[in-house]
A = this chain, B = another copy of it.
Amino acid sequence: MIKSIAVKDARFPLAAGAGSDAIHQNPVYSYTVTCLYDDKGNCGTGLAFTLGAGNELVCAAAKFYAEKLVGKELAEVMATFGTWFKSMSDEQQFRWLGPHKGVVHLALASVTNACYDLWAKQQQVPLWKLLLELSPEQLVNTLDLSYLEEVLPRDEAIRLLTDMAVSRKERDGILLSGYPAYDTSAGWFNYADDQLEENCKRAVDKGFLALKLKVGAKNPETDIRRAHIVRNTVGNNIKVMVDANQQWNLPQAIAVSKKLADIRPYWIEEPTHPDDVLAHKILADAINPMKLALGEHVPNRVVFKNYLQTGCAGFIQVDAVRVGGVSEFLTVSLLCKKFGVPVVPHVGDMGQLHQHLVLFNHIGMGHEALFLEHIPHLRTHFEQPAIIADGFYKTPELPGSSCDLIADKNIAR
Contacts and interface: CB of A to CB of B under 8 A. Distances in A.
A274 B101 CA distance: 11
B97 A103 contact: yes
A265 B246 CA distance: 40
> Could you say how many copies of this chain the assembly holds?
2
A54 B92 contact: no
A277 B274 CA distance: 14
Interface string A251-277: 100000000000000000000111111
A94 B53 contact: yes
Interface in A168-199: none
26 contacts: A23-B95, A50-B93, A50-B96, A50-B97, A51-B96, A54-B94, A54-B97, A57-B57, A57-B60, A57-B97, A58-B97, A97-B106, A98-B102, A99-B297, A101-B275, A102-B102, A102-B104, A102-B105, A147-B249, A147-B272, A149-B250, A150-B249, A275-B306, A276-B306, A277-B278, A278-B309
B300 A275 contact: yes
Given A23-B92, A147-B273, A104 B306 contact: no
Interface in A184-234: none
Interface in A85-135: 90-106
Interface stretch (A25-33, A333-341, A368-376, A380-388): A25-33
A246 B105 CA distance: 17
A303 interface: yes
A279 interface: yes
Contacts of A305: 276, 278
Contact of A101 (B24, B96, B101, B277): B101
A61 interface: yes
A410 interface: no
A167 interface: no
A92 B51 contact: yes
Q: Which 10 A-B pairs have the closest CB atoms?
A: A102-B102, A53-B93, A103-B103, A52-B93, A51-B96, A275-B302, A149-B249, A147-B273, A51-B93, A150-B250
Contacts of A61: 54, 57, 103
A53 to B, nearest CB: 4
A25 B93 CA distance: 9
Contacts of A282: 150
Interface string A301-330: 011011001100000000000000000000
A103 B104 contact: yes
Contacts of A60: 56-57, 60
A12 interface: no
Interface string A43-57: 000000111111011
A84 interface: no
A105 B51 CA distance: 16
A377 to B, nearest CB: 16
A7 B201 CA distance: 52
A299 interface: yes
A275 B34 CA distance: 27
A64 B146 CA distance: 35
B302 A276 contact: yes
Interface string A234-252: 0000000000001001110
B26 A104 contact: no
B310 A99 contact: no
A356 to B, nearest CB: 24
Contacts of A23: 90, 92, 95
Contacts of A302: 273, 275-276
Question: Which of A275, A297, A299 gathers the greatest number of chain B CB atoms within 10 Å?
Answer: A275
Contacts of A91: 53
A102 B54 CA distance: 13
Nearest to A49: B96
Nearest to A100: B275
